[in-house]
Amino acid sequence: MRALARSSWLIFATSLPRLLRSRRALLVLLLALVPAVLAWIASKLTGRSSPGEMAVNGGWLLLVQVVTPLAGLILGSAAVAEEVEDRTLTYLFTRPMPRAALLIGRWSAIAVVLIAILAVGTWLFLVAAGGMRGEGPPIDAGVTRPLFTAALAGGLAYSALAASLGAFVKSPIVVGLGYAFAVEGFLANLPGRNQLLTVQHYLRSLIAADGSTSWAKVEGLSTAGFVDGRTAAFTLLGIVVVALVAGCWRLARREFLLSS
């Protein structure tokens, strides 16, 4: 266990600067700025919506349902797949270190960068939404707190799933996109217990548990049937842990063949 922790920390420390300079991080940063840019443009072109209405509708439709999954999948898929693409996986696996350290260390670095980017993107979006001039609910703690929580928790969950997929399949980003936008897009809007199989359901539950009444007007957040906030939080944490454990297990047993 000590060797795993030491090796994971070493990979984390070497991966973080490399990730900060990568094109993936730049792409995710630009992606996270899109909601803020669109909210700023809307504040200049129209004044009919209030700051609170823009924050909850734009935050849910753009930030939580689109930007958060995409950002998590783009960065998370780099945990193992990037090492394969750069042909550095063989070198790492010939070192006296547990294979699981690669996934844990790389994902930890990804999680730090992802949280920072999503937090900045969410904050800028709320600032831009505050420029709306329409009458209606303001942006208060019941809007900002659930939005930050859902964006950051969703980013961690999706990135962990993508990182784990990299240990199982060659193109984790493709599989991840199919799950996040096809499977979840279908199951999350079905009645009944099918929603329990989606990350989006638990993100909705986090918002419903801690959000103001403004969120009830957003499509998909006005219905009952959500789990309580603590259950949603523990479920998302469980998704992260199970995904990483499964990825570590597969990574320890998989034989990687790098073509010339």
Q: How confident is the model at residue 213 (pLDDT cuts 50, 70, 90)?
A: confident
Whether the pLDDT of residue 73 is over 80: the answer is yes
Residue 253's pLDDT band, with cuts at 50, 70 and 90, is confident
One-letter amino acid for residue 68 of the chain: T
Residue 22 has pLDDT above 80, yes or no: yes
Q: How many residues does the chain have?
A: 260
Task: State the average pLDDT over residues 171-198.
Answer: 82
Q: What is the pLDDT of residue 182?
A: 85
Residue 168 pLDDT grade (very low, low, confident, very high; cuts 50, 70, 90): confident
At 95, give phi and psi (nearest 5°): -80, 155
CA torsion sign for 148, 124, 66, 139 is positive
Q: Which long-range contacts (CB under 8 A, 24 or more apart) does 82-89 make?
A: 82/24, 84/170, 84/256, 84/258, 87/258, 89/256, 89/258
Q: Per mean pLDDT, which of 119-123, 161-165, 178-182, 248-252 is the most reliable?
A: 119-123
Q: What percent of the chain has pLDDT over 70?
A: 88
Residue 54 is which amino acid?
M
Q: Please tell me which residue, 216 or 122, carries the higher pLDDT value.
A: 122
Question: What's the whole-number average pLDDT of the chain?
Answer: 86
116 C-beta neighbours (distance < 10 Å), count: 15
pLDDT value for 167: 83
Q: Is the pLDDT of residue 93 over 60?
A: no
> Can you tell me the distance from the alpha carbon of 77 to that of 71, in angstroms, rounded to the nearest whole number?
10
For residue 94, name the pLDDT band (cuts at 50, 70, 90).
low
Question: What residue type is assigned to position 72 of the chain?
Answer: G
Over residues 91-99, mean pLDDT: 62
Residue 188, classed as helix, strand or coil, is: coil
Phi and psi at residue 148, to the nearest 5°: -60, -45
Q: What pLDDT sits at residue 202?
A: 92
Cα atoms found within 13 Å of the Cα of residue 227, Cβ hemisphere only:
19
Averaged pLDDT, 137-159: 93
Query: DSSP label at 189?
Result: T
User: Residues 164, 246: contact at Cβ < 8 Å?
Assistant: yes
Look at residue 22 and give its three-state secondary structure. coil
Of 257 and 238, which is predicted with more confidence?
238
Written as six digits, the tokens of 24 are 């993936």
Question: What mean pLDDT comes out for the span 207-236?
Answer: 83
Q: Which residue has the tokens 């240990």?
A: 167
Assign residue 225 a region: left if phi > 0, alpha if psi is -120 to 50, beta otherwise?
A: left
The pair of three-digit structure tokens given for residue 140, joined into one six-digit string:
């208060």
Whole-angstrom distance, CA of residue 186 vs CA of residue 154: 18
pLDDT computed for residue 121 by the predictor: 96
